[in-house]
Structure 1
Amino acid sequence: MDVIIYHNPDCGTSRSALATIRSAGIEPHAVEYLKTPPSRTLLQQLARMGISVREAVREKAAPDTELGLDNPALADDQRLEAMMVHPILINRPIVVTPNGVRLCRPSDLVLDLLPAQQRPAG
């Protein structure tokens, strides 16, 4: 099974999701999104994850309020552009599998993306 995780090794939630994938016997392609951000196209497809672009912005990241991204009137295109310029703004981890795409916060949400027979006992 092809699995991609947009990962930040300094983030506990991201490390936990990665460990869950590996405990299912799957070695994912881990993309350190701070070094290699996801494409704008992937970020535009956030609705597939059941979240809005605004929900994909990491509010704890310093540039969020400095750039005015908390303004409800701000267009999604402006938020997407900010995430491309400042990848620290991208909430993580984002996991992509043949079963779907999801922001895995909390990390156990990754279980829904794994084949049932490979889900670790919990």
Structure 2
Amino acid sequence: MTMEIWFNPRCGTARKVRGRLEDSGRDVTVRDYLKQPPTRTEIEEVLRKSGMKASDLLRSKESLAGELGLRETDDESRILDAMAEHPVLINRPVVIDGERARLCRPADEVEALLD
């Protein structure tokens, strides 16, 4: 089965995770999620598969998160809408492996998907 990584090439953690996936011998699809943004439905699927809430996946240190008031809200639907509209708000890297998904920050989190 092919694994997918939501990847930002400027992110050192994402590059480490991508390298680890490739070293594992698994088939990997690399998705530059800033150029090919996930839909709200795809984000919801990642949350379901990972057990996270939208606020767990929010890249809260992005200035846009502050500008939109997302750091202070507990409105998960509002956070999802914002991430679908502005993919820069999605923390990375996200790795999807069938029915499992994981935010791999720090990079060694990917090991749980390679067992």
TM over 0.5: yes
Structure 2 unaligned segments of length 5 or more: list them.
none
After TM superposition, the runs of 4+ consecutive aligned structure 1 residues lying more than 2 A away are none
Could you tell me the TM-score, scaled by structure 1's length? 0.86
Aligned residue pairs total 114
Shift of 1:27: 3.7
User: Are residues 1:90 and 2:82 paired?
Assistant: no
Match of 2:103 in 1: 103
1:99: Cα distance to partner? 5.8
Give the match for residue 65 of structure 1: 66
CA contact (8 A) 1:14 1:107 kept: yes
State the SS of the aligned residue for 2:78.
Answer: helix
Counterpart of 2:33?
Answer: 33
Aligned-pair identity (%): 39
Aligned residue number for residue 22 of structure 2: 22
1:99–1:82 distance in 2 versus 1, CA, 3 Å: closer
Larger Rg: 1
Q: How far is 1:110 from its partner?
A: 1.0
Distance 2:83 2:19 in 1: 26
| TM norm structure 2 | 0.90
**Cα RMSD (Å) of the superposition?**
1.4
The 1-side partners of 2:59 and 2:24 are apart by 28
Given residue 107 of structure 1, which amino acid in structure 2 is its aligned partner? A
